[in-house]
Amino acid sequence: MKLCPSSLAAVALVLTVAGVVAAQPSAERPGAPAAWPDAQASDPARLGWMVGSPPPPDRIIRIDDGSYWRFPALRWTVSNFRQLMPTVGVPRGLGPVAPLPVALRDDIDRVRFTPLGSDRSMTWRESLDANYTDGIVVLHRGRIVYERYFGVLKREGQHGAMSVTKTFVGTLAALLAAEGRLDSARRVDHYVPELAASAFGSATVRQVMDMTTGIRFSEDYADPNAEVWAHAAAGNPLPKARDYTGPRTYFEFLQTVKSEGAHGEAFHYRTANTDVLGWVLARVTGKSVAQLLSERIWIPMGAEQDAYMAVDSIGTPFAGGGLSAGLRDLARFGEMIRNNGAFNGRQVVPAAAVADIRRGGGRAEFAKAGYALLPGWSYRNMWWVTHNEHGAFAARGVHGQAIYVDPKAEMVIARFASHPVAGNAALDPTSLPAFHALARHLIAAAR
């Protein structure tokens, strides 16, 4: 497979949105010295990206030259994907917006915690800058108790959810399974015969939903023939080089994936699984992931904004990471799940599906993936389950996107961010203890 420079740039965008992490500087390692300008110095509003008619040449951001990917320009890009690439809408419909009562607190910024691997504490407010937060909303018992926006993200704006997209797709699958419309024990090729010859054909839908498939999917970015590059190139909607002969859509790529290892033995976080699940859902319902998300979640939960999804060259929504949405709508979704699928006066997701999510997946299978910062966790229906004393679970995406649900604290956190390092290992030492400290604080304050 041969890619021209402009295609390589676009492929990098697809990798970023997917939650696939390319090689990063040493700052990705917890405790490594910082190699980036801080949150204030990299503020996209302060730097004036894409301002003017036209913007000054040194403030223009493009896909084809790779400028969108370079930090700190990335901090503008994540709030403006629709200006750079083809998308499809996720309409909220014409009904009323489900209200989120506001009862702001003035004590949250002072909550203190100690980051993982550190002996020095920091405040909640300090953690927002440390994680290059673009926007954050905290719900407690269904009320907004904290809300902040930074950079170019406004309350009415939309931001890339990255791999939080996977959690929406996994929830749709759990919803259909609970309704009896999808049998997660059936093989993938039962629903998508075109995948019979691929590694996915012999996997069960459940193994896809929990990412325990045995597939050959190398993420060695030094190898131009690695499957991760073929996947991204196939999903790249921009024109290919004339001598490009690889897959041109997600559908075409998924049919080429080979087997490696046995299905069901170990958790492997691979974006291709979510693309397969999106294909299965489309076959079961006759609707795209974007249409399903609109009809089954966005409209019934009373979202306040339309969302949108990135698409490939034939308009297939990118199930693995293409969603951009408003922050409050992510919080609504988290609150709906916290309330066992009920929200806006209706049962949006069956309670049985939420119970299945909260139980989590196989911890032994998850442990084989080697996440040092996530001991005892599991993965179920494309949710990350902590199994901590609060029963917390989360949706996670690169560069700091998150929905964190703490049932015991009756708390939901929705966060958008644009950390210069993609991998969550760079944010978890600060984020995870901050979220848990806030949960404990809210519990104590409510007594």
Q: What is the dihedral of CA 313, 316, 320, 326, to 10 degrees?
A: 100
State the sign of the Cα–Cα–Cα–Cα dihedral 178, 181, 183, 184: negative
Q: Are 59 and 50 in contact (CB under 8 A)?
A: yes
Answer yes or no: is pLDDT of 17 > 60. Answer: no
> How far is residue 423 from each of residues 16, 186, 212, 256, 402, measured CA to CA in Å?
10, 33, 20, 27, 13
Convert the pLDDT of each residue in 274-331 to its tens digit.
999 999 999 999 999 999 999 999 999 999 999 999 999 999 999 999 999 999 999 9
**Across residues 427-436, what is the average pLDDT?**
98
At residue 232 the predicted structure's pLDDT band, cuts being 50, 70 and 90, is confident
pLDDT of the residue at 222: 65
Answer yes or no: is pLDDT of 30 > 90. Answer: no
- Tokens 């609109």, located at residue: 294
Answer yes or no: is pLDDT of 27 > 50. Answer: no
Helical H segments across 262-374, by residue range:
272-285, 289-293, 327-338, 351-359, 363-367
% of the chain at pLDDT higher than 90: 84
**Across residues 125-137, what is the average pLDDT?**
98
* ∠ Cα 97 99 102 (to 5°): 145
As a whole number of angstroms, the distance between CA 340 and CA 16 comes to: 31
Q: Are 136 and 148 in contact (CB under 8 A)?
A: yes
> How far is residue 57 from each of residues 48, 52, 151, 162, 268, measured CA to CA in Å?
12, 10, 21, 28, 42
pLDDT of the residue at 33: 43
Which residue did the predictor score with more confidence, 330 or 227? 330
**Across residues 368-388, what is the average pLDDT?**
97
At residue 35 the predicted structure's pLDDT band, cuts being 50, 70 and 90, is confident
Burial class (CB in 10 A: 0-12, 13-18, 19+), 113: buried
pLDDT of the residue at 21: 46
Answer yes or no: is pLDDT of 382 > 50. Answer: yes
Convert the pLDDT of each residue in 53-95 to its tens digit.
999 999 999 988 889 989 999 999 999 999 999 999 999 999 9
At residue 132 the predicted structure's pLDDT band, cuts being 50, 70 and 90, is very high
Answer yes or no: is pLDDT of 184 > 50. Answer: yes
As a whole number of angstroms, the distance between CA 227 and CA 51 comes to: 38
pLDDT of the residue at 241: 87
Answer yes or no: is pLDDT of 34 > 50. Answer: yes
Q: Are 281 and 297 in contact (CB under 8 A)?
A: no
pLDDT of the residue at 396: 98
pLDDT of the residue at 6: 45
At residue 219 the predicted structure's pLDDT band, cuts being 50, 70 and 90, is low
At residue 23 the predicted structure's pLDDT band, cuts being 50, 70 and 90, is very low
As a whole number of angstroms, the distance between CA 382 and CA 122 comes to: 31
**Across residues 326-346, what is the average pLDDT?**
98
Answer yes or no: is pLDDT of 1 > 70. Answer: no
Task: Please state whether 182 falls in left (phi above 0), alpha (psi between -120 and 50) or beta.
Answer: beta
At residue 26 the predicted structure's pLDDT band, cuts being 50, 70 and 90, is very low
DSSP string, 222-269: T-TT-HHHHHHHHH--SPPPTT--S--SHHHHHTTPPB-S-TTSS---
In a 13 Å sphere around the CA of 292, the CA atoms on its Cβ side amount to 27
